[in-house]
Amino acid sequence: MKIQVADLHFKLLIDSDKIAKRVKEIAEQISNDYCGRTPIVVGVLNGSFLFTADLLREIDIPVEVAFTKLASYFGGTSSTRKIRDDFDIAVDIKGRDIILIEDIVDTGNTLHYLVDKLSVREPASIVACSLLLKPKALERTVDELKYVGFEIRNEFVVGYGLDYKEQGRNLKGIYKKV
């Protein structure tokens, strides 16, 4: 089924059942890996708001939550490689275990920027979890990327938090541009 978001057409790539199943699996992995600890889960807005909310509800160990907001696409369908830092997390992360939650890792620049920025604040550990990864688009490897929902091809996607011109974030599935 084809859908339209703003002036572009998209077709279903990953349906909501598949997303929910994978979210549960990742949450179980995180719950096991952090058993006995209380990590701070940092959602990277805007794109990860649904993923962060759904993941948190499936994690069954104590966690704290914080948000930061970064942008790099600015309404287009490819990375500008410029990162706009809109707001920072409002918690002290020194000595804490940090799990960054991203919607998608494309070139890897945003995640690299964030890991660099937070690492100087001396957290005990820092890893990242991304719902999607475009392995062929990676310009720099980010060793901290430990949890990945789905690897996808180098194509533009919307839905489940991801936007095109700020629309499409409310779609239950993930759709690729046709």
Q: How far is the CB of 37 from ligand 5GP (least distance, A)?
A: 26
Q: Out of 54, 97, 103, 106, which one is annotated catalytic?
A: 106
Q: How far is the CB of 148 from ligand 5GP (least distance, A)?
A: 13
Q: How far is the CB of 59 from ligand 5GP (least distance, A)?
A: 21
CA triple 44-16-152, angle to 5 deg: 65
Residue pointed to by tokens 């939650």 = 101
Q: How far is the CB of 56 from ligand 5GP (least distance, A)?
A: 18
Is 7 an active-site residue?
Answer: no
- CA–CA separation, 4 and 9 (whole Å): 4
Q: Which of 78, 100, 75, 105 is nearest to 89 (CA)?
A: 100
Terminal-residue alpha carbon distance, the chain:
11
Q: Which residues bind ligand 5GP (CB under 6 A)?
A: 47, 72-73, 79, 102-110, 156-158, 162-164
Burial of 108 (0-12, 13-18, 19+ CB in 10 A): buried
Q: Which is nearer to ligand 5GP, 93 or 105 (CB)?
A: 105
Q: Which of 124, 78, 132, 74 is nearest to 101 (CA)?
A: 132
Q: Which is nearer to ligand 5GP, 37 or 172 (CB)?
A: 172
Q: Which is nearer to ligand 5GP, 34 or 164 (CB)?
A: 164
Q: Which is nearer to ligand 5GP, 34 or 114 (CB)?
A: 114
Give the active site residues.
Answer: 106
